[in-house]
């Protein structure tokens, strides 16, 4: 049809319908004219409008999922907003169940080798942690499964149809939207959130077990590598050590922590993945827990900057204590304090400047102040490094027995602390597990110094009775108190290649040695590397943190910690 001139009246144009009036454009659906052959009487197509505009729509959720979220309390009770007709006309039909004969449709597209559920559960598009699904074909995370969700669009664009909800562990096929009930997916659901029964947990230290991952690589549950994302090896060795403290491990593997803070939930998940006997790969990644720790510590501990394992261990135990319901004032109010907390007596006396005082560290009978304090970690001081070698070159790397530096707590040897002389003595009862920090690093205004002294120690039968004040009411006199080594965190200084600054040439490398109770063997773990070690040579490394377990039995008996769960 020829173009109508601007000055030509519209009424003179033949066979052209009149435009709709302004009143008709704002009328609702009930007042709109009835459509005739897909068009209204005025010649304009009318799009159907939603019937209930006030209902709340949850982004990325379908009707069934909306009901699940409402039941769980994730959202307030609200009606459901029907999908728009125009999207329903173009989108595939939603199904409540697979069609007859097609129950295993798309399951052959699942690729278990690319699945990695260790990373933080965030949608790869929206970065939201609400209602997250994992694509079982490519392993990426997406939000929701409704017709407007990221997972739904991914299914249409990429042809990836199988998804698992990271919270409920239910598996769905998209875009159809029905749940898959196949038993063949149970292994995936178990890897998402490993759960062992109480009997299985009790057998972890009694029955040797060997597992295989999807690459047919052999591994031992509990002795697996941990990914060092950039500089989080200080974190890895601490978590590996705590994962072998039996009462603490059993508590976080068996207790329901769904109502506790995220730091407790994510630590529980990481512990269960370390001891997972049906893992897809023979290592784990601490990314999810590290992200929560970086947030709670205000970036004090991150995965990009290396920190001191003792600083992190102290911070982590105190925050874990509060996360599981512990009290700041009441002792033994959580599993953390029941496992590690002990009591120490501190006697102090001010040092006077008298000329006839003699030994400045000799305690006098009067003016002795006594304090009773709680501890989680015991600090052991190394003797100063000798400046010169002796005639036989024995002091190239000095050595000192562990019992010598433990003498700090015998209640006899005085020490100088600021303007006071002090002495320490442990009190009964000793905790089930003792944490020793061998102090190797000291700082001055210019540089951080390291003491390379080697500490020699037995891996079994450490008698702690000489360092505990006798108390016949709590413990028989003369009876030894045996402790056995569980974990040993070691430090290694590695020279930098291109660094000429004196005192800044060493890079800290952290490693942990762990005891396998079921086989009575030792394993060394450094990030992703796991190798067998000899118990007789553990002391040849620079020990930094040690975990000792109190034994129940004679000196040749096996260590059996009481399960506090």
Query: With bands split at pLDDT 50, 70 and 90, how would you rate the model's confidence at 359?
Result: low
Average confidence score pLDDT of the chain: 81
Query: With bands split at pLDDT 50, 70 and 90, how would you rate the model's confidence at 447?
Result: confident
Tens digit of each residue's pLDDT (9 = 90 or more) over 141-164: 999 988 889 999 999 999 999 999
Residue 441 C-alpha from the chain's centroid: 27
Q: What is the pTM of this model?
A: 0.79
Q: Per the structure block, which two tokens stand in for 418? A: 């600021």
Q: Is 23 exposed, middle or buried (0-12, 13-18, 19+ CB in 10 A)?
A: exposed
Query: With bands split at pLDDT 50, 70 and 90, how would you rate the model's confidence at 93?
Result: low
Q: What is the 3-state secondary structure (H, E, C) of 240-304?
A: HHHCCCHHHHHHHHHCCCCCCCHHHHHHHHHHHHHCCCCCCCCEECCHHHHHHHHHHCCCCCCCC
Cβ neighbours of 3 (radius 10 Å): 6
In the prediction, which pLDDT does 364 show?
A: 66
Q: Per the structure block, which two tokens stand in for 332? A: 């033994």
Least confident of 44-58, 65-79, 155-169, 355-369: 44-58
Tens digit of each residue's pLDDT (9 = 90 or more) over 211-237: 999 999 999 999 999 999 889 999 999
Give all domains of the chain, ordered by start, each with its CATH number.
16-46 (no CATH), 63-190 (3.30.40.10)
In the prediction, which pLDDT does 60 show?
A: 52
Return the higher-pLDDT residue of 492 and 42.
492
Q: Output the CA torsion sign for 259, 263, 264, 268.
A: positive
Q: How far apart are CA 116 and CA 127, in angstroms?
A: 17
Q: Output the CA torsion sign for 436, 438, 439, 440.
A: negative
Least confident of 43-52, 224-233, 423-432: 43-52
Helices (H) and strands (E) in the chain, counts: 13, 25
Cβ neighbours of 178 (radius 10 Å): 17
Q: How far apart are CA 529 and CA 535, in angstroms?
A: 18
First-last CA distance in the chain: 86
Are the CB atoms for 181 and 190 separated by under 8 Å?
no
Least confident of 112-121, 449-458, 469-478: 469-478
Tens digit of each residue's pLDDT (9 = 90 or more) over 293-349: 999 999 999 999 999 999 999 999 999 999 999 998 888 899 999 999 999 999 888
Tens digit of each residue's pLDDT (9 = 90 or more) over 363-404: 666 678 889 999 999 999 999 877 766 655 555 788 899 999
Residue 248, pLDDT > 80, answer yes
In the prediction, which pLDDT does 16 show?
A: 53
* Section 2-31 average pLDDT: 50
* Section 517-529 average pLDDT: 93
């Amino acid at each position: 049809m020829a173009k109508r001139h601007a000055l030509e009246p519209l009424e003179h144009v033949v066979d052209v319908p009149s435009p709709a009036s302004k009143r008709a454009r704002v009328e609702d659906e009930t007042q709109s004219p009835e459509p005739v052959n897909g068009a209204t009487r005025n010649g304009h197509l009318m799009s159907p409008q939603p019937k209930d505009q006030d209902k709340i729509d949850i982004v990325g959720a379908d009707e069934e999922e909306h009901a699940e979220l409402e039941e769980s309390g994730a959202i307030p009770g609200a009606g459901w907003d029907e999908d728009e007709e125009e999207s329903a006309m173009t989108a595939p039909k939603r199904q409540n169940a697979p069609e007859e004969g097609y129950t295993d449709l798309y399951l052959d597209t699942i690729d278990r080798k690319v699945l990695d559920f260790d990373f933080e559960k965030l949608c790869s598009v929206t970065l939201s942690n609400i209602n997250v699904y994992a694509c079982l074909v490519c392993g990426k995370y997406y939000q929701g499964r409704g017709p407007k969700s990221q997972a739904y669009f991914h299914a249409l664009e990429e042809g990836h149809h199988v998804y698992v909800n990271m919270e409920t562990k239910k598996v769905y096929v998209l875009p159809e939207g029905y749940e898959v009930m196949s038993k063949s997916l149970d292994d995936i659901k178990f890897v998402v959130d490993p759960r062992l029964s109480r009997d299985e947990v009790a057998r972890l230290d009694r029955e040797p077990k060997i597992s295989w991952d999807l690459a047919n690589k052999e591994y031992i549950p509990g002795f697996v590598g941990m990914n060092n994302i950039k500089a989080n090896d200080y974190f890895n060795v601490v978590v590996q050590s705590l994962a072998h403290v039996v009462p603490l491990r059993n508590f976080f593997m068996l207790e329901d922590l769904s109502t506790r803070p995220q730091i407790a939930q994510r630590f529980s998940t990481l512990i269960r993945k370390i001891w997972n006997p049906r893992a897809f790969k023979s290592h784990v990644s601490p990314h999810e827990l590290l992200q929560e720790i970086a947030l709670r510590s205000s970036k004090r501990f991150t995965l990009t900057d290396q920190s001191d394992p003792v600083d992190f261990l102290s911070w982590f135990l105190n925050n874990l204590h509060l996360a599981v319901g512990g009290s700041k004032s009441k002792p033994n109010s959580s599993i953390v304090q029941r496992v590690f907390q002990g009591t120490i007596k501190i006697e102090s006396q001010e040092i006077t400047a008298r000329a006839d005082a003699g030994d400045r560290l000799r305690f006098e009978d009067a003016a002795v102040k006594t304090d009773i304090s709680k501890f989680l970690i015991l600090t052991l001081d190394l003797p100063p490094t000798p400046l010169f070698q002796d005639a036989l070159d024995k002091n190239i790397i000095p050595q000192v027995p562990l019992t010598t530096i433990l003498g700090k707590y015998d209640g006899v040897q005085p020490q100088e602390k600021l303007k006071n002389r002090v002495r320490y003595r442990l009190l009964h009862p000793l905790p089930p597990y003792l944490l020793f920090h061998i102090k190797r690093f000291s700082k001055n205004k210019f540089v951080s110094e390291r003491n390379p002294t080697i500490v020699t120690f037995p891996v079994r039968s450490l008698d702690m009775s000489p360092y505990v004040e006798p108390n016949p009411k709590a413990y028989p006199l003369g009876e030894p108190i045996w402790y056995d080594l569980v974990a040993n965190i070691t430090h290694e200084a590695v020279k930098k290649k291109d660094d000429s600054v004196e005192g800044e040439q060493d890079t800290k490398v952290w490693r942990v040695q762990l005891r396998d109770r079921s086989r009575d063997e030792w394993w060394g773990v450094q990030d992703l590397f796991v190798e067998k070690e000899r118990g007789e040579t553990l002391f040849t490394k620079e020990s930094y943190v040690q975990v000792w377990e109190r034994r129940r039995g004679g000196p040749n008996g096996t260590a059996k910690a009481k399960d506090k769960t």
